[in-house]
């Protein structure tokens, strides 16, 4: 695609690796602008819109929500301290999730080992652990 070639919504979606409905949804959310529709023909999306869609996808891959992405887009590249604060907040949330998952892994590992060691054919230790106290 050349620098100023216009794209239909279908070509834009394919180039960004999203569905047409995703493009429309982002328009409704205000993440991308919907170009004016000419009297005849289709809306023409710019290379800048494609770049914005790709930015949104990359930000989502890093775990940012659409609301957070809207904030990043509003800040642009001008306010690095605020963007850094948002990224630091996201990093802290990811680290907390990792810690939670590691605790979950340890509990499940312990339960699976206790179940393997249960040779008495009695109640399953995993089920017993999950039952509420009587």
Give the pLDDT confidence of 19-76 residue by residue, as tens digits: 999 999 999 999 999 998 888 888 999 999 999 999 999 999 999 999 999 998 888 7
Q: What is the pLDDT of residue 30?
A: 93
* pTM over cut 0.75: no
Q: How far is CA 118 from CA 3, 4, 121, 133, in A?
A: 67, 68, 7, 21
Query: Quick one: average pLDDT of 71-99?
Result: 89
């Amino acid at each position: 695609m050349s620098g100023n070639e216009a794209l239909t919504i279908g070509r834009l979606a394919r180039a960004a690796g999203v569905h047409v409905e995703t493009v429309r949804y982002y328009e409704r959310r205000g993440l991308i602008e919907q170009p004016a529709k000419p009297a005849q023909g289709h809306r023409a999306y710019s290379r800048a819109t494609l770049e914005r869609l790709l930015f949104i996808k990359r930000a989502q891959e890093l775990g940012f929500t659409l609301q957070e992405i809207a904030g990043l887009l509003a800040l642009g590249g001008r306010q690095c301290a605020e963007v850094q604060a948002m990224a630091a907040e996201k990093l802290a949330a990811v680290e907390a999730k990792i810690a939670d998952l590691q605790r979950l892994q340890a509990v499940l590992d312990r339960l699976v080992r206790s179940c393997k060691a249960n040779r008495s054919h009695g109640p399953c230790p995993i089920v017993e652990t999950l039952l509420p106290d009587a």
